[in-house]
Amino acid sequence: MKNQKIKIGVISALHEEQAGLVEQMQDVITIQRGMRDYVSGYLWGIESVCVLSRIGKVAVAATTATLIERFGVTHIIFTGVAGAAARKVRIGDIVVANQLVQHDMDASPLFPRFEVPLTGLSHFFSDKQLSNLMSKAARQFINEDFAAKITEQCRQEFYIDRPVVHQGLIASGDQFISTAIGLDQINNNLADVLAVEMEGAAVAQVCFEFGVPFAIVRTISDNANQDSPVDFVQFLEKIAACYAYGIVRQFYSLLKEEKRLPV
Ligand code: SAH
């Protein structure tokens, strides 16, 4: 990374999704804004602002806009957990978004279903370079850190064998998906959804509107079915933080090697 002044915004909805990062920061200043704590400083040597957005699309849209407008971040990453939406995606796998859609957006018949009015878009693309870097970071986490960081007991409890890193479509909406019917409704109307969650597509829309490159990474905590409320809570408690910290750490070390970042 040369001659580039970058400042990374790091967002998660919940504490466990970025636990440990703030403790790694140096020259920390915390500023409260709109009920959020924006912790700014240097994370592994790169200027960064870490913030918990709270849950849902509106919460994260407000947070994303504030990061851009008030804190001048040049790039945004979101790290968190999500429900699996495809058969091949399992608990413990990692999904990096290459596109995001709001599955609860419906202004039809005025606009096509899922299209965000006045943008002409239903699917928003994440930044290719950042997302590829994030996938590489996730693979490095699995290959280098996973065995040491996630106990055998945890792996057995969640039937995690060898986690896979997927790249594809993430669908977001203001619903915790915890029934097969709920998930079918999404999959029947949208093709190739890998994971469901509640913030990613809102980050994507705001970043698109402000022209800020972003990447979204999600660890699968549950199967978006009747077991989700229990799986989600257990996963969050025991595993999520390890993944999030490990992936972001790998991402930062890759960032430092990168010669040119998207602007
Ligand atoms: N019970 C929690 C709220 C969880 S909301 C609390 O009180 O703190 C679920 C969070 O995890 C959201 O931020 C969402 O992005 C993600 N998520 C994980 N699994 C999900 C699923 N099955 N459906 C929707 N969002 C999910």
**For the chain, which residues make up each domain, given as ranges?**
79-257
pLDDT at 260: 79
How does pLDDT run across 94-130, given as a tens digit for each residue?
999 999 999 999 999 999 999 999 999 999 999 999 9
Check pocket membership of 158 for ligand 1, CB cut-off 6 A: no
CA–CA gap between residue 107 and residue 47 (Å, rounded): 39
How does pLDDT run across 151-190, given as a tens digit for each residue?
999 999 999 999 999 999 999 999 999 999 999 999 999 9
* pLDDT confidence band for 259 (50 / 70 / 90): confident
Evaluate if pTM is beyond 0.85: yes
CA of 96 to the centre of ligand 1 (A): 17
Tokens at residue 52, please?
A: 């918990």
How does pLDDT run across 28-52, given as a tens digit for each residue?
999 999 999 999 999 999 999 999 9
Judged by average pLDDT, the poorest of 2-11, 43-52, 54-63, 121-130 is 2-11
Closest atom, ligand 1, to C-alpha of 233: 1
Angle, helices 57-69/200-210, rounded to nearest 10 degrees: 30
Residue 154, judged by CB atoms within 10 A of its CB (0-12, 13-18, 19+), counts as: middle
Average pLDDT over residues 75-83: 98
Check pocket membership of 80 for ligand 1, CB cut-off 6 A: yes
CA–CA gap between residue 219 and residue 5 (Å, rounded): 30
CA of 192 to the centre of ligand 1 (A): 21
Fold entry, domain 79-257? Rossmann fold (3.40.50)
CA–CA gap between residue 230 and residue 234 (Å, rounded): 6
